Structure 1
Amino acid sequence: MIKSVSNAEHYTWGEACDGWHLVKSPTLSVIQERVPPGASEVRHYHTHAEQFFFVLSGTASLEVDGTVYELRPMHGFHVPAGVPHQMRNTHDTDVIFTVTSTPPSHGDRFGA
């Protein structure tokens, strides 16, 4: 089945952010997310899940273990399991990105 934000399971999180489950299986999660200007997620880590963030549009500030990386469109970053991280939008346009997690990160999120 072809998946997009028009037919994927939608949810909201954090400060008016959106997520769409493009793949949701016991071993793999692929989510497209939208973070509006000024919004962020809570700094956290996953004990089992490793993640790959890939920016489609906008510029994301991804803090990983104390270092901030500016991710522009078509840039990605791998975050290993156990590493604290936080996605932020410090710019004036929405950030649209995908986050791929294996295994899925839901239920494996802890404050850092």
Structure 2
Amino acid sequence: MRNTNNQHDSEVEFSNYSSLENLTLIKGTFTPSEAKEVLVSLISSKISFHNKKNLRSYELNGKENQESKNRIKEFKKIRSKLLKIFENIDDSEMSIKIDSQISIEFQDNSE
């Protein structure tokens, strides 16, 4: 991660992080259509990621990545559920509060 020739202020060394980082991914109050867009976009991005991972595995190893296939199924179910939740909600009826945290744990693979 370190650029010794021309180090930028935006670069951060691994040692500057604790072993666990908690970050806010989504936080705010949205109209139902905005909430739907944010959440469905996030889920669609995850599906796309796992589709690409599965394709890479097939191209490199001649077999699909079962973990990615399972995650794709899970995310498709979540997306369907979200679409059903937002199906009959009008923007003027209510607002949607979303607070989504992620935890990132750094693990040393050399041990």
TM over 0.5: no
* TM-score, scaled to structure 1: 0.28
* TM-score, scaled to structure 2: 0.28
Larger relative contact order (CA 8 Å, sep ≥ 6):
2
Structure (1/2) with the larger strand percentage: 1
